[in-house]
Amino acid sequence: MTTNTTPTTTTTGTRAEATTEATAEERYTVISADCHAGADLLDYKPYLESRHHDAFDAWAATYVNPHEDLLADTADRNWNSARRLAELEADGIVAEVVFPNTIPPFFPSASLMAPPPTGTEFELRWAGLRAHNRWLADFCAEAPGRRAGVAQILLNDVELAVREVRRTKEAGLTGGIMLPGTPPGSGLPELHSAAYDPLWAVCDELQVPVNHHGGSASPPLGDEPAARAVFMVETTWFSHRALWHLIFGGAFRRHPGLRLVLTEQGSGWIPGVLDMLDYYHGRLVAAASRTGTTAESRFGAGLAATMDDTPAAVWRDHCYVGASFMRPHEVPLRHRIGLDKIMWGSDYPHDEGTHPYTREALRLAYADLPPDETAALLATNAAHVYGFDLAHLAPIAARVGPTITELTHPLDKIPPAATSPAFAPGGSVRVW
């Protein structure tokens, strides 16, 4: 939390703790751990290597953008830095973790949802993602200390990915990397494969968070109405898979500083899934250790050597959740998930995001929480994971952040124009 007084600051590691004299109404520092941005299509050209310019011109001349929100009058929220800062501040948000949104060069759609490239597509797709990363570094530099940009990579060539992690870290992107999915049929090794160890090693070495965003691992299902409905049902599950792949694959044991962030996938599922993973871990390790051979012992062979700890313990030591537009029914699970593991996100500028009703969404979810817990969910945890300096953000929060009194006042009416799942039926709305 910050107040509109001048804070004094102590810093431990990457976490800055701001303490203040409570001489005025205290305000929360709010960091959104899930926002999206990208350049307008033609503005990516200067960020491409010159040898790709002719190919870019030919591609851009015939490209038809499939995303309505990127053709609307509000599309410039993705790249208009001044507008973006103003709208986030109006929502009480002072800093953001920036995931991609617009169409990178040579992609058929936004990269988050695009299928992994084939061998012939790889070179140009890779050039397009590197152009986005260069653009993003400049975009983040327009608001120093307020944007943690998430770099994009592809998994087709792990050595190239490792080099891009190093380059983007040096370029000032502090949001880590966005881990692509390996959906069924992609032809890529599964995420539990040791083939990715060089990638985990460099992220451990450089303290680069590995982010896996919802929607990025689903297989193609077609365009029928049923396919779209099935996608909505299944997409978060396919994104969750990265958790058990990395856990059972032993990535965290081999790379003890590795951190995984699962973003915009909900959070209420986590306790139950950890219980399930612990169950299978215990069952398979026990079966493998018994004298004699059983059918089940084959499934647990080598698992104890691969993993030092239970899945729940791995979660506790290595994993976080970007809890975009956290809903009221998820909040009572916060201690089972881990209060220090949850980072709230607004999902700006998406329609399902909380803008421009972020304050109302926070009141709906967090009105009953102690202020220190709310402060952890809104800022302290994200500052720890992504390296935000809370002392740097404090004067901005003192000007625009929501007050403690405001967020502890229960919401009595859902804004009629709100489109975020934060306000979906099932949340508790109480009359004050």
Q: Where are the domains of the chain?
A: 23-423
Query: How does residue 4 score in pLDDT terms, banded at 50, 70 and 90?
Result: very low
> Can you tell me the mean pLDDT for 173-197?
95
Share of the chain above pLDDT 90, in %: 78
Q: Give the model's pLDDT for residue 426.
A: 58
Tell whether the model's pLDDT for residue 2 goes beyond 90.
Answer: no
Task: Specify burial of residue 120 (Cβ count, 10 A radius: 0-12, 13-18, 19+).
Answer: exposed
Nearest to 315 by CA among 336, 300, 298: 336
Q: What is the DSSP string of 266-292?
A: -STTHHHHHHHHHHHHHHHHHHHHSSS
Tell whether the model's pLDDT for residue 3 goes beyond 80.
Answer: no
Query: Torsion-angle region of residue 176: left (phi > 0), alpha (psi -120 to 50) or beta?
Result: left
Tell whether the model's pLDDT for residue 32 goes beyond 50.
Answer: yes
> Can you tell me the mean pLDDT for 201-229?
93
Q: Give the model's pLDDT for residue 27.
A: 97
pLDDT in tens, 42-99: 999 999 999 999 999 999 999 988 888 888 889 999 999 999 999 999 999 999 999 9
What CA–CA distance (Å, rounded) separates 398 from 372?
A: 17
Q: Which residue has the higher pLDDT, 39 or 292?
A: 39
Of 19-28, 117-126, 216-225, 286-295, minimum mean pLDDT range: 19-28
Q: Give the model's pLDDT for residue 293.
A: 64
Query: How does residue 220 score in pLDDT terms, banded at 50, 70 and 90?
Result: confident
pLDDT in tens, 296-351: 787 878 888 888 899 999 999 999 999 999 999 999 999 999 999 999 999 999 99
Nearest to 337 by CA among 373, 290, 303, 370: 373
Q: Give the model's pLDDT for residue 14.
A: 39
> Can you tell me the mean pLDDT for 400-414?
96
Q: Give the model's pLDDT for residue 112.
A: 86
Maximum mean pLDDT: which of 70-74, 94-98, 287-291, 427-431 = 94-98
What CA–CA distance (Å, rounded) separates 54 from 60?
A: 10
Amino acid at 88: L
Q: What average pLDDT is seen over the chain? A: 91
Per CATH, the homologous superfamily of domain 23-423 is Metal-dependent hydrolases (3.20.20.140)
Q: Give the model's pLDDT for residue 17.
A: 40
Tell whether the model's pLDDT for residue 9 goes beyond 90.
Answer: no
Q: Give the model's pLDDT for residue 298.
A: 78
**Residues β-bridged to residue 212:** 262
Tell whether the model's pLDDT for residue 11 goes beyond 60.
Answer: no
